[in-house]
Structure 1
Amino acid sequence: MVAAAAAALLLAGLTPSAATAAAPSPPVPQLDWKQPCVEHFECDTAQVPLDYRTPQGQSIQLAVIRHRATDPAHRIGSLFYNPGGPGGSGTQALPAVYDLFPEQVRKQFDIVSFDPRGIGSSTTLHCFTDPAAEQSLLSRLPAGFPVGEEQQSAWADTYARFGRQCADSDRTGLLAHLSTADVARDLDVLRQAVGDKQLSYLGTSYGTLLGATYANLFPGRVRAMVLDSAIDPVAWTTGRNPQDRALTPFLRTGSDLASARALDAFLDRCGAADPAACAFSAGSPEATRAKFTQLLDRLRRGPVTVGTPPQALTYDYASAVSIVTSMLYAASPVPGFPDTGWAALGAQLQGLWTALGTPAASPPTGGLPSQAQTLGVLCADTANPPMDADYAGLADLAGARSGAVGPYWVWQTQRCAAWPAEAARDRYDGPWNRPTSAPILVVANTGDPAWPYEGSHAMADTLARGRLLTVDGYGHTVLGNPSSCAAGYEERYLVDGRLPPRGQVCAPDRQPF
């Protein structure tokens, strides 16, 4: 009887720790794809249960988008795509990256994406009456991350108030149902809505956690799954040993170390390049590293303004480090986004360098908009040190092991320290090795600056049927830093189920500079 009950829960996508009895099957939404949408794409809205324990109860809306297979005579089915985040909008991301998908995949699959619950045009968590009210709370925060005791105290206090505001404003109960496990159950309902017996999926960045969660909640429903730039799921959700509980999630996964390695590579390659290729080059790797250190030392003493009004922008130490961290993601320019790539980062740093003689009156302040869309998922999925933990000490630890970029990663999840506890109600934290009906392909750059290559290796090793494909290059996600070699293997796997050889290593199409 116990085994039968556990099997029923697994088929329903509910683990014994998440429910006491198997819930009825959720209704399958009807999609007609008639809503006006981006050119060449079709959109619709799907109704899904708020709570999969009571699937016939209250429902929420998911915004969905698709591009039809360009060779319908040889159509295989639908390929679901998730861009990551957390907080990434699939309805916005898919049109931007569609042309990066392998040609044969575009021919033989409808490419489908959606805004996960709580995000974008789907039902979202409303913590404030309007964006101005949110920014009023965040207005005293430093841009980027806090530096020094005063800023750190203000940061912790503000995000504690942010969490209370979200709890007090949640009239629908959505706050308790924003975990990646909830999104995985939505994904299974959408799979049924498009008529596929099994799921074909490509997830990048945080979308790899969604894929791994789906694979372990619904192991018999995997047709093909590509996880591009993966998270170590154990390190992220719980940690691999008791000592990990004292660390923030990004320190457990080593994201700070990954950014530090990528920054070192950028400075070395920039320094070895001609200034025409990298504007920040000082003529050698050593001189360029020293120049970067001098730049940060100057910014620690006060902000500077780059440009002239009305295009002028003000930067201080933390905002500059935050921009550097994010711009490491694209090693080469992303098609359609001219201000990306390490050459663009070099130009940005050189602009700061030349502006050092023009101090600003005040440092930049204010938080990112719509943070509830990120925190609703981020805080539900992770185990974080409590509010009274020594986050300043953890930031010092990150700085000692990762340099300037280290503290950035600590303060991102400090925002979760006082997040309402009910958010973790549906959280999934393993097991991660349930045998799946098909093998899963994990793809990763060795020089990924966000989710380190070691995390993708751990994902492939942790999954019951994982296979790792390595790209010896830089940047976050192989999709965003293309490799024709890797794309060919992904294409053959998604279309025909053929895995690359064990230990296969590909080269990127372009190297920085």
Structure 2
Amino acid sequence: MRTTGISTPLRGAASALAGALLALLSAAAPASAGGPDGGHERVVLHWRPCPQKARAEFECAVAQVPLDHADPSGRTIDLAVIRHRATGPGRAKGSLFFNPGGPGGPGTIGLPGLYRKFPAELRDRFDIVSWDPRGIGDSTAVRCFDSAAEAEAWQKKVPPFPVGRQEQRAYVAAHTDLAKRCERRDPELLRHVSTADTARDLDLLRRAAGDDRLRYWGISYGTLLGATYANLFPDRVGALVVDGNVDPQAWVDHGEGAEPARSTFLRLGSHRGSAGTLGQFLDHCGRAPVSRCAFSAGSAAATRAKYDTLLERISARPVGKWTYARAVSEVRGGLYTVHPGWTRTADILQTLWRGRPPTEPPAPTGPAHYPGFEQLYAVLCAESPNPAAPARYPVLERQAVEESDPLARWWVWANEPCAAWPSRAAHPYTGPWNRTTAHPVLVVNPVYDPATPYRAGQAMAAQLARAGLLTLDGYGHTALDNPSACVKRHVVRYVLTGALPPEGARCAQDTPPFTHPGQASTATAQTSPASRAVVPLPDGRALRAWPPAWLPHRAG
């Protein structure tokens, strides 16, 4: 948004007025506006066995939906849909829809990767259904490059975040180039990949599945999708679990003035969540023997000092291809899953401490998979306000590091691509968030979540009209990916009966950090330079999780 003809988010009075009018129209729209029960939009799903070997137990289908739900007779787009049939005896009791986060997380990868983590009682009773949201994955997708090879070549040139003015200029230029590529491809699609568009798609899929009301489990960005659905279609909420929460108001509202003073992730508090979780990682590691945490220096204080020294050392002299930016990015991503992520991260840090580069993962086999990193920007940048001036980001970086720690650099620069993004969502939903739903919503959040901090879970529960907050006294990004039998019991009871946990309910994690016997791992980087994957799948690919799903790991 630095060149004539490329719009800036909420820049100027005209843009502010347009945004206000859109918000007013969204707020005034009836609950079923644009929904399938209007009689114009219908989806038919023809289920077939999924072709990929790794998904042999799943069924796949393609749904056709309107590009613009306000124009159901216009252009249509495809949604890739996947399900696992209920495993219990007899017929399924209905469907449980799942969104793995992002934006940019494809359900056709996410569901196979996380299916076994769903409570057995829910897998027995319900078909578990997911999909690649519009603009993502195998659905009609935002693709700004001619091939996977071209996209990966571009991606490899861009570090996780820039260090120094020269890298900052190159980073800004690269994402300006990306924005222009995307604008040339399919500008119409770019305007119709908002969270509200996807929520309306979800309602069509609900109806196609034969469900009167929606049962849903959304993690990370999927919580924003759940909250949006709940407020667009409050009468159609059956059971809605939001886990690892995005603060809806912070996502859409940048405060006073036409120009955002803070970037999205700083408003969400992700930098503070990472800092708090990293502190817990180092404290637990320091109290553990080196047989459980390879990076332990014998005490929490000594391990924190060792970590600071390592970052200073790598900043001055990279270890092979491991730059300061790559090391920080790897640590941030490694905090998401306690087992095995924390142990693997400790191994990587200890290997770097010894002056050796960690082992790179094997190169993926088979045809190149389109990385799709621009797909996350297509959703995020089009609906969540961010500063349009590139010069603002170094200032935000300094402020955020002072507020938290060096991991904040990653969070700040992850929003900079929005400064040049060429499109704004045609029909964003900006609130209100407190419409009374047919059934209450269950909000779940870990206390130490490195991406969606606990205060965001509190904000979600407070903003929704009918919601209960279940606290996981634990670590990592989302309770689904960091198991707790206690959380599962509450979720199962809620989905089956509608009963929320008692007010103030808290659960413990099943396995505390660095206590799992025989947990030692090799010091292998979690992802290849061109990958954003964090959860391995049987076929050697991996599930992307928010925010790694929507903010790519890159070569340092």
TM-score if structure 2 supplies the norm length?
A: 0.82
| Structure 2 equivalent of residue 363 of structure 1 | none
Change (3 A) 1:343 1:62: same
AA aligned to 1:175 is L
| Structure 2 equivalent of residue 54 of structure 1 | 71
Counterpart selection for 1:206 from 221, 227, 236? 221
Instruction: Answer with 64-73 or 283-292: which moved more.
Output: 64-73
Instruction: Answer with 436-445 or 29-38: which moved more.
Output: 29-38
Change (3 A) 1:330 1:56: same
Instruction: Give the 5 Å matches for 1:331-480.
Output: 331-333=338-340, 341-355=341-355, 369-421=371-423, 423-480=424-481
| Structure 1 equivalent of residue 44 of structure 2 | 30
Instruction: Answer with 392-401 or 71-80: which moved more.
Output: 71-80
Secondary structure of the 1:332 match is helix
Q: Measure the CA separation in 2 of the matches of 1:74 and 1:190.
A: 19
Secondary structure of the 1:472 match is strand
Query: Residues 460-481 of structure 1, C-alpha deviation per residue, up to 9 Å, x if partnerless?
Result: 0000001100010000000000
| Structure 2 equivalent of residue 103 of structure 1 | 120
Change (3 A) 1:151 1:8: closer
AA aligned to 1:9 is A
Q: Measure the CA separation in 1 of the matches of 2:422 and 2:357.
A: 45
| Structure 1 equivalent of residue 319 of structure 2 | 304
Secondary structure of the 1:46 match is strand
| 1:151 matches 2:167 | yes
Q: Deviation of residue 425 (structure 1)?
A: 1.6
Change (3 A) 1:126 1:397: same
CA RMSD of aligned residues (A): 2.2
Instruction: Give the 5 Å matches for 1:30-429.
Output: 30-37=44-51, 38-73=55-90, 75-141=92-158, 143-170=159-186, 173-239=188-254, 245-305=260-320, 314-333=321-340, 341-355=341-355, 369-421=371-423, 423-429=424-430
Change (3 A) 1:191 1:23: closer
| Structure 2 equivalent of residue 309 of structure 1 | none
Q: Deviation of residue 36 (structure 1)?
A: 3.1
Change (3 A) 1:72 1:275: same
Change (3 A) 1:243 1:487: farther
AA aligned to 1:381 is E
| Structure 1 equivalent of residue 29 of structure 2 | 9
Contact between 1:205 and 1:230, CA under 8 Å: does it hold in 2?
A: yes
Unaligned runs of 5+ in 2: 1-24, 359-369, 515-556
Query: Residues 440-469 of structure 1, C-alpha deviation per residue, up to 9 Å, x if partnerless?
Result: 000010011110000000000000001100
Change (3 A) 1:212 1:357: closer
Q: Deviation of residue 35 (structure 1)?
A: 4.2
AA aligned to 1:234 is Q
Change (3 A) 1:8 1:449: closer
Contact between 1:125 and 1:372, CA under 8 Å: does it hold in 2?
A: yes
Q: Measure the CA separation in 2 of the matches of 1:260 and 1:61.
A: 40
Q: Deviation of residue 76 (structure 1)?
A: 2.2
Contact between 2:238 and 2:439, CA under 8 Å: does it hold in 1?
A: yes
Query: Residues 22-64 of structure 1, C-alpha deviation per residue, up to 9 Å, x if partnerless?
Result: 9964421211212434122111111111111111211111111
Query: Residues 387-430 of structure 1, C-alpha deviation per residue, up to 9 Å, x if partnerless?
Result: 34511000111111111101110011111111013x32222111
AA aligned to 2:346 is G
Q: Deviation of residue 376 (structure 1)?
A: 1.1
Q: Measure the CA separation in 2 of the matches of 1:426 and 1:170.
A: 17
Change (3 A) 1:7 1:229: closer
AA aligned to 1:128 is F
Query: Residues 119-143 of structure 1, C-alpha deviation per residue, up to 9 Å, x if partnerless?
Result: 11111112111133334544542x2
Contact between 1:70 and 1:106, CA under 8 Å: does it hold in 2?
A: yes
Q: Measure the CA separation in 1 of the matches of 2:484 and 2:245.
A: 17
Query: Residues 352-396 of structure 1, C-alpha deviation per residue, up to 9 Å, x if partnerless?
Result: 1112699xxxxxxxxx94212211111122111113451100011
Secondary structure of the 1:43 match is strand
Secondary structure of the 1:168 match is helix
| Structure 2 equivalent of residue 362 of structure 1 | none
Change (3 A) 1:161 1:274: same
AA aligned to 2:479 is V
Aligned residues: 476
Change (3 A) 1:6 1:393: closer
Instruction: Answer with 451-460 or 62-71: which moved more.
Output: 62-71
Secondary structure of the 2:428 match is coil
| Structure 2 equivalent of residue 501 of structure 1 | 502
Contact between 1:26 and 1:52, CA under 8 Å: does it hold in 2?
A: no
Contact between 1:391 and 1:410, CA under 8 Å: does it hold in 2?
A: yes
Q: Measure the CA separation in 1 of the matches of 2:377 and 2:243.
A: 22
Contact between 1:434 and 1:464, CA under 8 Å: does it hold in 2?
A: yes
TM-score if structure 1 supplies the norm length?
A: 0.89
Q: Deviation of residue 70 (structure 1)?
A: 1.7
AA aligned to 1:407 is R
Instruction: Answer with 378-387 or 488-497: which moved more.
Output: 378-387
Q: Deviation of residue 344 (structure 1)?
A: 1.2
Change (3 A) 1:151 1:13: farther
AA aligned to 2:241 is V
AA aligned to 2:333 is S
Q: Measure the CA separation in 2 of the matches of 1:127 and 1:357.
A: 33
AA aligned to 1:29 is V
Secondary structure of the 1:10 match is coil
Contact between 1:138 and 1:158, CA under 8 Å: does it hold in 2?
A: no
Q: Measure the CA separation in 2 of the matches of 1:101 and 1:202.
A: 10
Contact between 1:25 and 1:55, CA under 8 Å: does it hold in 2?
A: no
Query: Residues 151-203 of structure 1, C-alpha deviation per residue, up to 9 Å, x if partnerless?
Result: 111111211121111001116x2111111111001000000101111100000
Contact between 1:201 and 1:225, CA under 8 Å: does it hold in 2?
A: yes
Q: Measure the CA separation in 2 of the matches of 1:75 and 1:190.
A: 17
Q: Measure the CA separation in 2 of the matches of 1:95 and 1:113.
A: 10
Unaligned runs of 5+ in 1: 16-21, 306-313, 334-340, 359-367
AA aligned to 1:162 is L
Q: Measure the CA separation in 2 of the matches of 1:332 and 1:241.
A: 42
Secondary structure of the 2:108 match is helix
Secondary structure of the 2:345 match is helix
Q: Deviation of residue 9 (structure 1)?
A: 3.5
